[in-house]
Structure 1
Amino acid sequence: MAQARAWSGQVTHVIDGDSLLTGNREIRLAGIDAPEYTQPYGREARQVLYDLIHGRSVQVKPVTTDRHGRIVAHVTRDDGLHVNAAMVEAGAAYVYRRYTDDPHLIALETVAKEKGKGLWSLPSDQRKPPEQWRREHENETDRIGFNCAVRKTRCKQMTSCEEARFYLTRCGTHWLDGNKDGVPCERTLCKS
């Protein structure tokens, strides 16, 4: 993708510790990888990002588009806070070394690790980079035919009510249940 122009928008949803929505655009935070929602510290990482940006105005500077169609970007809060770096500094995300060697992010991660912040406070056997964790757990979800590592965040991406229920209960895509009654995608897939 050619370098797209930056834009401002309001955060409407926080998907997990490194993904969010501004309007109908899904943004993946560049250079970081937060624990998956079902991984140790995954829910906490999502909460950290939620507390940082939900409902706030942000500046989005696209870098590329990933294989899931998400805009990979640097996100800056309306008060100037660089959200990607703030997640690493809080110990809520790893530096995604497969895609960056940013010395500033690496230094923030080193300090967070030394101070035992966030995910770095977990026992060492529970601290795994999400990419490694996804590889180790992909067969577990493949047995039932659905996989949290496959990014599906909207009802229109689901093929059945069963799949929507899986994403709601196993992957933490809680916004599929707009009225919070435990039934996802009621207008389309899970009509009564």
Structure 2
Amino acid sequence: MRTINITLLLLCMSLVSAVAYDTVTGKVTSVIDGNTLEVLGDDNQTYKVMLAGIDCPELTQVFGNHAKLYLQKLTLNKKVTVNITGKDRWGNYLAVVLVKGTDDPRIDLLKEGLAWTSEKNPDPDFEAHRVRAQEKGKGLWKDNNPTPPWTYRREQSMMEAKSS
């Protein structure tokens, strides 16, 4: 009986701990690329956060650095609320980041033509912003057929030398 109580207690503690990090408030201390930033939480922990639902060009792609600079303008040194939605395969947090509690930089990046909606299950509202930017020929949509970052990453990984 005692073992069951301890197991239940540990399970409850792990659930409380997981829930405690669903929302983090803090300040953006670094912008890594167009959809990745670091936030120093009010809890003094640093969180590497990827914006959920969008994908910006890689830094080595056309408009990659432009997307990074635009995200810096929107978020760097600003107070943010980070609503964590999960983790990627590298352990980075996927999140909705809101500046001043309401401003969503993902929408601004899409409207400026500096991001794609995610490859899998794109959000219809986000897709509408992306399509409008494409129709207007904004940002990366100045090119008739820009390479999505997921395609670019796959191509780059195929070009890497394989270890023997």
Give the shorter-chain TM-score range.
Answer: 0.7 to 0.9
What TM-score, normalized by structure 1, do the two folds share?
Answer: 0.68
Q: Of the candidates 130, 136, 140, which is equivalent to residue 155 of structure 2?
A: 136
RMSD: 2.0
Show the 5 A alignment for 1:1-150.
4-23=21-40, 24-78=46-100, 80-98=102-120, 100-121=121-142, 123-125=143-145, 127-140=146-159, 142-143=160-161
**AA in 2 matched with 1:7:** V
SS in 2 for 1:8: strand
How many residue pairs end up in the alignment?
141
Unaligned 5+ runs, structure 2: 1-14, 41-45
Higher helix share: 2
What TM-score, normalized by structure 2, do the two folds share?
Answer: 0.79
Unaligned 5+ runs, structure 1: 146-192
Question: 2 CA distance for matches of 1:135 and 1:67?
Answer: 15
SS in 2 for 1:10: strand
Which segments of structure 1 move beyond 4 Å, counting only runs of 4 or more? 1-4
Higher strand share: 2
- The CA deviation at 1:143 is 2.9
1:153 is matched with none
Question: 1 CA distance for matches of 2:32 and 2:99?
Answer: 17
Question: 1:142-187, CA deviations, whole angstroms, 9 ceiling, x for partnerless residues?
Answer: 2398xxxxxxxxxxxxxxxxxxxxxxxxxxxxxxxxxxxxxxxxxx
